[in-house]
Each structure stands twice: as structure tokens, then as C-alpha cells.
Structure 1
Amino acid sequence: MTVALRRRIARLAAAAGLLVTVVALLIAPATPASAHAVLESSSPAAAAVVPSGPSEVVLTFSESVRKVPGKIRVIAPDGSRADRGEPSFGGAVVTIPVDPGGARGTYLVSFRVISADSHPVSGAFTYSVGAPSTPPVDDGADSRANPVVGTAVKVARFLGYLGLVLLVGPALVLAALWPRRLSRQGPARLAWAGLGLVAVATLADLWLQVPYTAGGGLFEVTGEGFGSVIGSAFGAAHLVRLGLLAASAFLLRPLLARPVGRADAIILAVLGGAALLTWPLAGHPAASPAPAVSVVVDAVHLGSMAVWLGGLLMLAAFLLRQADERELGAILPIWSRWAALAVSALLLAGTVQALIEVATPKALFNTTYGQLLLAKIALFAVVIAVAAYSRQLVRRRIAAERPAPVRRAVWVELAVTVVVLGLSATLVQTTPARTAVAGPSVAEAGEFSTRLSSPLYSLEVEVSPAQRGNNSVHLFAYGKDNLPLPVAEWRATAALPSAGIEPIEVPLLPLSDYHAYGDISLPAAGDWQLKITVRTTDIDQATVTATVPIR
């Protein structure tokens, strides 16, 4: 096959990749400008007593939501299923058909849906027909995100970012800065490893999204669940990314082997820019109050990060060790200007992101998202200081004569930014600060979490949003083997001794044999004492206490 024919095939593949991108973005489901849905109302209302059984239960959320297969249920007083047929979804309204001729007593409604930014939202409430009775237990209602799955999602995101750095750095440096006399084999291997990491992380994202949204284990993936993910905007963005990676590989191969023409480099850059857009299209930015701005800004932020860190890696691993003084004298001033532009873009994009996702100083300091962002800013400041030192060495031409000091500074930058990447992977899975302040959801707020131990059991306690006013309490009991422990009875009280507030009973609703849920209004800020008694048999019970800081 001639070189001209190979180039023609590569360009056709690249054009096909761009066409796939455009088509997928056009057919992807539109998402509204918000994130992390909140249940605003229901009919019948929570805790309501109605004279006769309704023919349907209607849930109204703060935004459009999507279905998680099998995770919306209505349980009758005798523990049987009262819902009839599949629930219907109409934007923010979910309608569940139920049997109107059911028994008198208390019914349990449990739900788990997917909000506009691809994160799950779950909760439960009861209503009664005729008169209240002992609430039923739904063994299938517990759909909390599996801890292993939650960790795996963050790891996959981190590997995707790392792969992007390994791919972009070698491609950029080989295209514009690499000395002709040096072998391209090392950087080429790094770039292929980066491409492979991004592809594997993308496939892992698609797989993990099924148990993450459904609340199952790592391998609890059904065809219906996977089909639901593939048919969503999240799935479309990931499929487009895979298509663009495949198309880019055709142009990447000649670039890694030898210098290529300007046209091929431009097409490869366009493909890379389109691929960058798939990250924000599958996360918080696509569901922000200003989605168009957020998506572009996040893509710029991600691209600048990849250029900067990828270039630093190429300097540290290859150029500062293999290039001679004359070559470094030509390369380093150019790289210094590129790095300055990349850092400036990072700062500008980060500022815009913070204004959109955080919105207020209160949200910056009083939410998990805001606190993680502050930690990221602090580490970024350290990196900027080290980068400024390196830039001074370049300006004074010390780097070309004595590259060792610059090499050490570059490795420090890379070490700190690995931590920054880890924080970024966590941030994309955390409720945006603006949403947490406005109205956090039951499943995602998680402002306070602790694990308590007793001789009989260990108890995981989650309170959200850990602020004055209405709070949700989730309790999970585990045995000494760390497996779910069936509970016969739950009791809990909350008190604030410093303000003279006596213990207030927390009404708890068993969602499964080891998971209970309750709502309580905490009227004042302070360190509340949450006392929980768990009875596991007729005679075995133990009490544990948690101190919950309420702001």
C-alpha cells in the first residue's frame, strides 16, 4: 500500500469519526439544565392517610429523570407488590400504576431514578389507606451504590484522565518539538499506552454505569440495564469517544513513526477536540444552568491539563535526558510559552467552572464539592509555584546548560498533579455545590457519614445534608464478617444537650432487613447526639452513639 493511499484511508477514517460524532450528538437524548434530581412532591403525599386506595402513585421531581429497571416499587401492608405494570416517565413526572382495591394499612413507595447528569437518586416514603399500620419491608428496595462499584467508577475516571495525558503529550511533542535525530520509539509506546488506557477506561465507564445507577454489585449487569445506559446521553458520549479513538488511531500511527503533513496534524487535532467534548457531555457540565458554556469550558480545562501534564512528562522522561544543549535551547523556550498558555487556560476555565458549579461562597466552604475544589486549588497553587521556578530557569538559559534542576522541578509538578487528577476524578462523582446547597437528594448529599461499632454489629450512619432543617438518615447494619446483618427492630433519637434540646425520636422506616431510613427536622446548629439502638434477636440488642455536626 502506497503512502498516499494510506493517508487517504486515514483521512476517510477521520472524517467517518467526525460524522459519527455529529450523528450521535444529534440523536443523543436532550438533558435539561439542572442536576441531581430532588423529589418535590408525590400523590398521595408522604405520610398521608387517604380514604381509599389510589389507582396510581405520582412522583414529581425537580428535573427530568430516567428509569432504572426494577427499582420503582410499591409494597402493600402485607409485603406483596401493589404496583401493577411498568411505571411511565414523562419528563420530571413518574406515574406508577397500583391496585386500587388493595388492603387497608400503610404502603411503602421506594424509588431509584437517574438524574440529568447520569447520577442515581433514590428514596422512599409511606402513605396509608384508611388508617396507618406497621410499615412493610421491601427486601428489594435497598439500592445504595455498592462501595466497590463507587470506588471502581472513580478509578476508571482517573485512568481515563491519565490515559489522556499519556496520549496527548507524546503526540503534541512528536508533532512539533521532537528532534529528528532522536528515536521516537519511547514516546510512541507511551502514546499507544495512553490510547489503550482511554479506551479501557471508557469501556469500564459504560460497564460500571449499570451497577452504579442500579445499586448492584460489580457484575450485576443485565441486558436491560446495559441497554438503558447505551441509549442515554451518557452512553452516546462514550460510544462517540470510542469511535473517535478508533478513527484517531489511523492518523496517530504515522505521526508516532515520522513527521506528518500539516493537513493530517490538523485533522488529528480536530478529532482530539471532538473527543474532549465527550467527557463534559457525559457529566455535570451537560446538566449545569449554562450547559453550552459548561461543556466548552470543561473541555478546554481537560485539554489544557492534558497538554501541560503530557508535555511535562515528555520533558522529564525523554527530552531533558536525551536532547543536547543546542536542542534544549531551542525546545525549552517554545515549551515554556505553551505551558504558560495551557496554565492560563486552566485558570480561566477553572474560574468559570467554579462560578457555575459553586455559585456562592457558602457553597464553596460548606459542601463536599466546594471543599474538594479548595483542596484542588491549593495543590494547583503549589504546582504553579514550581512551574514559575522552572520558567525562570528557562529564561536564564540554565535549563539548557544544566537540565538536572529543571528535571527535578518537573517531577515535583507531575507528582502533585497526579493527586490533582485524583481529586478531579472524585469531583465528577460528587454533587455540585450549587445543588447540594439548593436541595440535596437523599442518596447523593452524604454530608455526614461514619461507621460505629458495638459487640453485636457495626453500623454505617449517613445524615444529609447535615444542616439545620429537614435531614435524611440512612442506617446500614453489618455483622462481624462485614456482611449485611438482619435487624429485628430499629430505634433512634437525636438530642442537642448544649442547647437544652431533649432527645427527639427519629421515625425509622425499614427499607430492607439491614437498611433503615428516616427523616427528622433539626431546628438548631451544633453537635447533635444521635443514639441508635439495634435489636438483632429477641434478646440481643446494643446501642451506639454518633456526634453529628449540624451547620
Structure 2
Amino acid sequence: MTAATLRPHRRLARLGALAGLLVTVVALLLAPATPVSAHAVLVSSSPAASAVVPSAPSEVVLTFSEPVRKVAGKIRVIAPDGARADRGEPSFSDTVVTIPVDPSAGRGTYLISYRVISADNHPISGAFTWSVGAPSTPPTDSGSDTRADPVVETGVKVAKYLGYAGLLLLVGPALVLGALWPRRLDRRGPARLAWVGLGVLAFATLAELWLQVPYTAGGGLFDVTGAGFGDVLGGTYGTAHLVRLGLLAAAAFLLRPLFAGPVGRTDAIILAVLGGAALFTWPLAGHPAASPAPAVSVVVDAVHLGSMAVWLGGLVMLGGFLLRLADERELGAILPVWSRWAALSVAALLLAGTVQALIEVATPSALVDTTYGRLVLAKIVLFALVIGVAAYSRALVRRRTAAAHPAPVRRAVWVELAITAVVLGVTATLVQTPPARSAAEVAGTPDTFFTTTLSSPIYSLQVELDPAGRGNNSMHLYAYTSDNRPQPVAEWKATAALPSAGIEPIDIPLLPLTDNHASGEINLPASGEWQFRFTVRISDIDQATVSATVPIR
């Protein structure tokens, strides 16, 4: 094309980009103003868990650490006879959820199960019991399941992974074609790769919107309704994804001339602005927007994501095209520039990742005591391996032998990409895991209440003992998987002993309330450091025993 024929095409591309931006602005204007908050946890309830009250309440009140949103039909109160005791729709006011209850439902033990949505768009679920007059056999609730569908949970992680992969496959070719691509080489291969990346990213964004409906509601893959979609699109999560789609549409019009040949400074600046804006849609739809320092978290997460896309996308272009097609003279000019880019990207990754980890993990102990912290540690180890390989590649470039003998560099590049593919998988899981700071937000319980979480290779066990004193005590056990989902249990066993007083292990009778929740009553006759042991069997062959020392006053 001549310069005269290129001008109308570029004007058309800019008009297309402007149309995409208008779609983005409309999505932003329609976005609701929602408060910024952290991953919510239940801090108290009335009646309290395991409490025995003299008369039936007319309402149950749940108080969370941060504002929550409703999931239709997922808050239920079951009376001692197994019938529904809740009446009408629960009301949501900031951090408080109020559920009207039939006060004539009778004496005995009640069960409440709930599922709500926290500010970072992750579902929060749980269940507990209380009694009117005196405890009875706890009812079961076969009509409500607050657990997330495992297929949907896996699908969400796969969609996140595809989104990251599409982003780097788009950013890498666009950046290299715009700044490093030799004029004599055909641009069709990288252009096709970039279009694939754009398509994968758009598909992943749409898939995330679809999956968010059953993910929040706790349904199956195809349990998607118009009302559910409306709820998702009306929140910050849906708005961020719609904005991303609008920005991708706007960028697509400017990418076509870039893939055909060099573009002017104006188009390059517009593309950079669109790309930078799109990066912010990831943190705005996840944990960073709900962190204790949202402005800092959103910025560093966008920097972290952008640095990843530049580095890994550039590696794909280097290993897939440049080291194979460019001659020695061209590589001699390209590799030093790329080496500087990679060094800056890695430095930005390290800085942004460190800041984000400090905010989300909160305490050193949370690194090893929470799933989120352990995933961060795994990511650090993998990243250290990548840095080692990258340092080797950089050393080859500095020796100025890589241009003449690119094979060692090419091998190092593919090793980097192989390890970082695993890092992306860990990241896709990490963004779906409640931050470690949330695990540290323990309910404001009285001093006489004991709670702890015990870990084994096949489950984690939350233990609650009330009042943790001499005499009668109520115990509640909750089993969870390694990714914090309810773990169905086939058999529960528990014992308590006080070796210092010569008290041998006492069996604690346990009654399953739900498939991951059991309770029991025990009389502890003396003060001291009691040794509790819990054996949980989750299948015919899988069981593990954990223990805890509980101070009894």
C-alpha cells in the first residue's frame, strides 16, 4: 500500500477504535458504585452457633466482616422437624443479613446454611446449628447445597489460565512487530499468533462471565439464567469484563495496520493506552480491588500482569520466530535490546509481586498456614527457577555469541516458557483462592471460646470448642479440602486426654450435621493442657489423624 491509500485505512481504524472506546465508556457509566472491602468472613450470629436459647427467635442475624451480596435461594433455616423455618426473603444491609424466622417452629435444634458473595466476587458459604429450649437431633437439609460445583470451579480456573495465555500471545507479537521486527521478514506468522491470542483472550473473558453465574450461585455448568446474568453484569465483576471486551474491540482496529507494517507514533500511543487500560480490568475484578490498600493493589497487580505479558510474550516471539528466522546481523541488534526489556520486566515483576504478597498474605505465618500462602511460596520457587534460566540467557547475550550461535539461547527460552506455563497455572488457582489476610480475620469470639485449624495431607479441620472450660463443652468440627471447599467425611472420631492429671483418652461422641460438619458434647472434669486427637476418614482407604493442645481453665 502507498501512503495515500494507507491514510483512509488508518482513519477507519481510529474510528473503529473510538467505537470500541465508546462501548467501554458506556459500560463504565452503567457500573454501580460499590464499596471496596476485603474477602468477607462470618464474625457473629444471633443466635450464636451452638447456643441454647429459651424461646424461638423471630429472626436470625448474620454479621460478616465486610458487605456481602445475596445469592437467590441459598440462605435457609431448617426447623427441628426438617421443615423450612425461614419466612420471606432475607434482607441485606451493609455487613448484616437478617433472615425472618417462624417463631412457632418449636423446640429443638435448628440448622442454618448460607451462601453469599463477598466484595471480591468470591462466594462465602457455611452452616451452623443452635437450639431452642434444649438440643435435639440436628435436622438435615437435602434441598440446599452451599458447595460450589467442582466442574464450575475447575472451569473458572481454566478460563483464567486461557485469559493469561491469550494476553501474552497478543502482547508479545504486537510489541515485537512494533519495535523489533526486521523489515525484510514476513509479518504473517506473528500476526496470526496475535489474532489467536486476541481470540483466546476474548473467549476466556466471555467464558468467565458465563461461569461466574453458576460459580456464585453454586449451580452446575449450565445452571445459567437471565436473572443470574443480570446480577453478574450489574456488578463490578461484570463491568470489568465488559470494559475489557470493549477495549479489545477498540484495539483490534488498530492492530490490523500494525500487523501489515510499521505504524505511526499516534497509533502506537493509542494502542499502548488501550493495552494499559485493559490490564486494570483484571485486578478490578478480583482480590486487589478488595484489599486493605485497593489503589496500591490494583496498580501493582496491573504492573505485575503487564510485565508478565511483555516478558513471556516476548519470549514466545524470540523462541518461535526471531531466533529461527533472523540473521546474525539482525540478532546482534535485537538481542541486546530484548535483554534490557526482559531485565526491566523481571524487575517490575519482582517488585510488584513482593508488594502484592505483603498486602494479601499479611503475616509471615500465613505463608505456611494458609492455602493462599503456600501457593505464593510455590510461585516464588518456580519464579526463582525461571530467573536462573533467564540469567543464563542474558549471560549468553552479553558474550555476543548468541547472534552467531542462537541454539543455546533458543533452548533456554523454551525452558523458561515451560516453567512459566506452570507458574500461570499456579496463578490461575491463586486468584480463585481466598487471600491469606482473610484467613487471619477470625471472628471476634470471647476469651472462653477456642478455635483452631489443623492441617493434614488430605484435609484441613476447623475445630471449635465452647466454652473451653471445666464442665460441659460443645465441639464443632468442619472439614475442608486443600482449596478450602467443604470436604465430605465418611467417619469422624475424636478423643480428649489430660496426661498431666492421669486422665486417659476419652471418646467424644460425634454427630454428623452435614457432610463436612460434625458436633459433639464432652464434660472436661479438670483444668490443664488437654490433648485432643481427631481422626477423619474421607473414603474407604483415606484417613488422617491430627491433634491439638487446648488450654482448659
Q: So what's the TM-score if we normalise by structure 2?
A: 0.85
Give the secondary structure class of the aligned counterpart of 2:251.
helix
Q: How far apart are the structure 1 equivalents of 2:532 and 2:422?
A: 32
Q: How far apart are the structure 2 equivalents of 1:104 and 1:406?
A: 75
Given the superposition, is the C-alpha separation of residues 398 and 463 from structure 1 closer, same or farther in structure 2, using an over 3 Å criterion? same
Given the superposition, is the C-alpha separation of residues 104 and 31 from structure 1 closer, same or farther in structure 2, using an over 3 Å criterion? same
Give the secondary structure class of the aligned counterpart of 2:365.
helix
1:59 paired residue number: 62
2:494 paired residue number: 493
2:15 paired residue number: 12
Given the superposition, is the C-alpha separation of residues 5 and 87 from structure 1 closer, same or farther in structure 2, using an over 3 Å criterion? farther
2:142 paired residue number: 139
Is the 1:493–1:532 contact (alpha carbons within 8 Å) kept by the matching residues of 2?
no
1:330 paired residue number: 333
Confirm whether residue 376 of structure 1 aligns to residue 379 of structure 2: yes
Is the 2:498–2:529 contact (alpha carbons within 8 Å) kept by the matching residues of 1?
no
Q: How far apart are the structure 1 equivalents of 2:205 and 2:465?
A: 37
Root mean square deviation of aligned Cα: 3.4
Confirm whether residue 346 of structure 1 aligns to residue 349 of structure 2: yes
Given the superposition, is the C-alpha separation of residues 403 and 532 from structure 1 closer, same or farther in structure 2, using an over 3 Å criterion? closer
1:79 paired residue number: 82
Is the 1:64–1:115 contact (alpha carbons within 8 Å) kept by the matching residues of 2?
yes
Q: How far apart are the structure 1 equivalents of 2:261 and 2:414?
A: 28
Matched residue type, 1:98: V
Give the secondary structure class of the aligned counterpart of 1:419.
helix
1:107 paired residue number: 110
* Counterpart selection for 1:358 from 357, 361, 366: 361
Superposed displacement of residue 437, structure 1 = 2.8
Given the superposition, is the C-alpha separation of residues 494 and 68 from structure 1 closer, same or farther in structure 2, using an over 3 Å criterion? farther
1:473 paired residue number: 478
Q: How far apart are the structure 2 equivalents of 1:526 and 1:449?
A: 17
Confirm whether residue 47 of structure 1 aligns to residue 50 of structure 2: yes
Superposed displacement of residue 121, structure 1 = 0.9
Superposed displacement of residue 320, structure 1 = 0.4
Superposed displacement of residue 473, structure 1 = 1.5
Q: How far apart are the structure 2 equivalents of 1:533 and 1:150?
A: 21
Superposed displacement of residue 543, structure 1 = 11
- Of residues 168-177 and 32-41 in structure 1, the stretch that sits farther from structure 2 once superposed is 32-41
Alpha-carbon displacement from aligned partner over 1:346-391 (angstroms, at most 9, x marks no partner): 1110111111111221112322222211121111112112111211
Give the secondary structure class of the aligned counterpart of 1:398.
coil
Matched residue type, 1:528: R
Is the 1:167–1:310 contact (alpha carbons within 8 Å) kept by the matching residues of 2?
yes
- Of residues 175-184 and 222-231 in structure 1, the stretch that sits farther from structure 2 once superposed is 222-231
Give the secondary structure class of the aligned counterpart of 2:440.
helix
1:209 paired residue number: 212
1:88 paired residue number: 91
* Counterpart selection for 1:528 from 513, 520, 533: 533
The gaps in structure 2 that reach 5 residues or longer are 445-451, 469-474, 482-486
Q: How far apart are the structure 1 equivalents of 2:488 and 2:419?
A: 41
Superposed displacement of residue 167, structure 1 = 0.6
The gaps in structure 1 that reach 5 residues or longer are 452-460, 477-483, 535-541
Alpha-carbon displacement from aligned partner over 1:489-546 (angstroms, at most 9, x marks no partner): x7542457999772463654533xx554459999979993415699xxxxxxx99852
Q: How far apart are the structure 2 equivalents of 1:2 and 1:467?
A: 78
1:162-311 pair list within 5 angstroms: 162-311=165-314
Given the superposition, is the C-alpha separation of residues 17 and 520 from structure 1 closer, same or farther in structure 2, using an over 3 Å criterion? farther
Q: How far apart are the structure 1 equivalents of 2:237 and 2:35?
A: 14
Matched residue type, 1:474: A
Superposed displacement of residue 254, structure 1 = 1.5
Give the secondary structure class of the aligned counterpart of 1:438.
coil
Is the 2:489–2:537 contact (alpha carbons within 8 Å) kept by the matching residues of 1?
no
Matched residue type, 2:271: L
Q: How far apart are the structure 2 equivalents of 1:81 and 1:68?
A: 18
* Counterpart selection for 2:72 from 64, 69, 74: 69
1:538 paired residue number: none
Matched residue type, 1:215: G
- Of residues 204-213 and 299-308 in structure 1, the stretch that sits farther from structure 2 once superposed is 204-213
Is the 1:367–1:437 contact (alpha carbons within 8 Å) kept by the matching residues of 2?
no
1:455 paired residue number: none
Superposed displacement of residue 219, structure 1 = 1.9
Given the superposition, is the C-alpha separation of residues 229 and 326 from structure 1 closer, same or farther in structure 2, using an over 3 Å criterion? same
Alpha-carbon displacement from aligned partner over 1:127-146 (angstroms, at most 9, x marks no partner): 33343332221112322122
Q: How far apart are the structure 2 equivalents of 1:324 and 1:422?
A: 35
